[in-house]
Structures are given as C-alpha cells and as structure tokens.
Structure 1
Amino acid sequence: MKVGVVGLGLMGGPMAMHLHKAGLLAAVYNRTRSKAEPFEKLGVYVAQSPADLAGRVDVVIVMVSDAPDVEHVLFGPGGVVEGARPGLVVVDMSTNSPEWARRFAERLARHGVEFIDAPVTGGQKGAVEGTLTIMVGGREELFKRLLPVFQAFGRNIVYVGPVGYGQAMKLVNQVVVALNTVAMVEGLRLAKALGLDMEKVAQVLTGGAARSGSIELYLPKLLRGDLSPGFKAVHLKKDLGYVMELANKANLYLPATAMALELYKKMVEKGLGELGTHALGEVY
C-alpha cells in the first residue's frame, strides 16, 4: 500500500515518520510547507495539494485540527476528491464527532472512495514512540486490510464498529482524560497549599489508586514547570464541546464534563489554548 499523510503537526509528523520507516509513506502534504521539508530530504514526495497527494496513493490519512479542516481537505478547492479514483481509502485520524464521520463517509462514497474514522490517543509522546491507541470505525474487512498501516505507529489498535464509532469512542476517552487532568491539577494545588514535598506527591500519585494516563504523562512536566503541549488545551476544549453537543441531544446529564469544558473555555479565553492540557492550573 502507498500511504499519504495530510497534516504534519504535533501528531501527524511523527506518525508519518513511522510510516516512512515502515516503507509505506509515498507522499505528504501540509499547508505550511516547511513542516514537509524533513520528508522531502528523505525522498518522500511533497504534494502541492490534497488532490495531488490523493492521485498518488492508495490510502490518505488526514490528521488536522477539527471537522471543518477535514471537510476542507476532502472537499475544498484542490481537495482529496479532485484527485481521487475509485478504491481510494480516506482515514480521518483527527477528532470530531460521529455525525461528521458519517457525513464524510456518505459524501466520499459518491466518488467511489471508502472512509474510516480512526482517532488516536496517547499524545505527542505516543506518536513519537509509535505507541498510540487507535480507535477504528468502518467496514471491518477494510480495517483488517489497513492493519499494517495502523501498526506502524500504534500499539493498542481497537476495531470498535461501523463508521462513526471511532469518533464516539474517542469522545468517551476525552471525557475521562479531561476529568483525570482536572483531578491532577486540583490535587497538586491542595498538595502545595499543605506544604507537601512535590516529589513525594508524585511518588504516591504514580504508584497508587490515583494513577492515570494524565498523571503518568503530564505530572513530570508540571514538576519541571514545562507547560508545552503533548496535546493542546484548545483541542481538548473542542472535543469536550462535541461531547456536550451529543449529551444535550440525548438529554444526558454530564455535570463533571460540563465543568471541565468551562475550565478549558477559560483557558482559551485567557489566550492559553496553545499550552498543554496539563497547564489547566494557570486559570485557577
């Protein structure tokens, strides 16, 4: 399979590099061309547009910020559908919602293009180390065919159901991530107020029942004063917004998630959205 990657940011860049090492990467495209230069030096074709990329590969991976960005990459001027041929597969690995995933699948099907939603979790660290968890929604036979692609940068690859189920599972994941992060930030505030040794706090939180992905990934960074993103706060705010849209439609009461969304909204309003999700304490 020849694979192309659209979007070479914090996540897409490392994922594309793993695909190159696996001998699968045929082309890349990024709106800011400078991010594609490391791949050009490796002999990877740098496409002029998503359409140009789509015409050269069997599988297009899209890793951009939000649903409107995915829509533009697929259907905008110079978009994937302009270069697509029947049998092409589009894999959306960004995070949006089940409704968007089903909409993309329906529109691409008119062009003879198949679609899979396969968002990831594990942050930039997981992308760099090739240990991401990938939640895949789509036709199961197609999932099995694409497994070598996912295995290039993922360790925990889970087929969760038809189109849209990947995004649904990711939103569940984001609720737990957000609430774990709020718990970590508030626990650390309490620890500081009580005068505890923060290294010993870390020893307890990473070894007992409070242990979580947020603790393991981000507590060491917080102790160093490093607020740089492994996952940007603005993106978690976007994801929680999708969660609450779905919850409101289903008349589902999620008070803690609603609170977390308000906290991340405050982060973005204060101009802190480009920091990591673990920098939430900056708004307290």
Structure 2
Amino acid sequence: MMAMENLKQFLVLLSGAAVFGIVSIVFVLTWVLHFREGLAWDGGAAEFNWHPVLIVSGFIFLQGTAIIIYRLPWTWKCSKLVMKLIHAGLNLLAFVFAIVAMVAVFDFHNGANIPNMYSLHSWLGLTVVVLYGLQLVLGIGMYLIPVTPASWRAAFMPVHVYSGLLLFTSVIAVALMGITEKLIFALQNPKYKDSPPEAAFVNVLGLFLAVFGALILWIATRTSWKRPSDQILHTLHTNGGSEDNTKVSPAMSQLSGGMDAEEAGEVRRRNNKFDDNTN
C-alpha cells in the first residue's frame, strides 16, 4: 500500500523500534537479576523488582505495539474488526501488567513499612494507570460495541488518538522518573552520583526507552502510513490491485475505530476517482 521508498523507511523505523523495545526488556531483566535481588513474590525486594520488569515489558512495550498495530501493511488484509480486537487485547494486557506491577510495589512497601504514594513518581504513575483504564473502557465502548452511533465514534476519535499518544509518552516519562528514583535510593556505597556500573547500565536502559518511545510516536503520527479503510482496500482489490491503485494515500483512515462521515465521504470521492480513471 505504500510507495516502495516509504515502505523501506517504515520498515527501518519499525525494526529500530522493535530492537530498542526488546533490548530494553533484556536490560531491565538483567538489572533486576544481576544487580538487584532477582524476582520473587514474597513481599520483599525481589517482589518489588517485578514493578520495573512489568512496566517496561507490558505498559511500555505492549502499549507501543498496540499503538502501531494498524500501521503494519501485512495486516491490512485482515478485517478492521480483527485489528480492533488485537489493538484492544494488547492494551488490555498492558493494563493487566501495570496493575500487577502496582500491586508488587504496594506489597513491598507495606511489608517494609515504607509509606505509599508520597513521591511525584507515585502520584503520576497512579494517575496514568487510572486514565489508561478509562481510555481502555471508553475505547471498547465506542469502537467494539456495534450499537455505538457512528457520530459518537467520529467525535471521540481525535480524543482517543491524542489520549493514547499522551498516555504512552507519560508512561515512559514516569518510568524514567521511577528508575532514577530507585537508583538514588538503592545505591549507597558507591552512590548514584559516583556513577557505579549499575547506574550507568540503568541510565542506558532509560535512553533505550526514550528512543523506543520516539520511534513509536514517529510511526504513529505519519499520516501516509495509516491503514486505508476497508472500503478502499476492497476497491483496490476489485480493481485488480495495480501498482498505480496501490499508491492511493491512506491518510484519511483512522488509527482505530469505525469509519466516520468524513472518511465515508473520502471513500466515495476516491471511488469516483477510480471510476473516472477507468473510463
């Protein structure tokens, strides 16, 4: 569906995002298994370590994947409903990861008699989780319940897209705050300011997370890489899928949700254009 040059750019950026995302997961696992106390569910420090692991692997990596799932050209042959279900499923799984990550922190704090919810990191973290849950409920209600009016979907779509990108960016920012806070508290001899190997290692993890987020945002905000509507995909298929037809810009499609009135009008205009070209 993309011109070959754009497809190459897309694949390079997609590969970069995948590499930085996977390496970030490897780094956070190495951090807790090598530098910290490992992983366990016993109310101690090893239980706390589930928090960064689940946030990076779930709340960041899975959420980022959910954001760009519509942009993968090889999924465009799948129906929009199937892609909605995959998008919602990935977001739901990311939300579950975030909830378990928070439970691990509260269990650890309560067991060690450490106050809860006193830092800016905790305030923003809880806020993001609550808003993410609200975004998930509204998204499912708007775009997976057939009786939802198309006008509601169209009106909510800009809010849904903006909120999704804002929450994704916020999760990464809060995660960077959290790993820095953890290093300051945990490193005593030598201290964080002395740049011991663990500090440098986790700082690199933070850089990887920032780059992953930047790549996901770039992919998600390129209008030329949006999934075409099912109507246009069907039209291209019935017109023989010629090279000229497959270069139709998919800029009018949305990241998720049903087709709104504006998109329907665009489909009609493009269908008329196809008809004119074949006459």
Q: Say yes or no: TM over 0.5.
A: no
Query: Which structure carries more strand by proportion?
Result: 1
- TM-score normalized with structure 2 length: 0.30
| Higher RCO (CA 8 Å, separation ≥ 6 residues) | 2
Give the structure with the higher percent helix: 2
TM-score normalized by the length of structure 1: 0.29
**Larger CA Rg, structure 1 vs 2:** 2
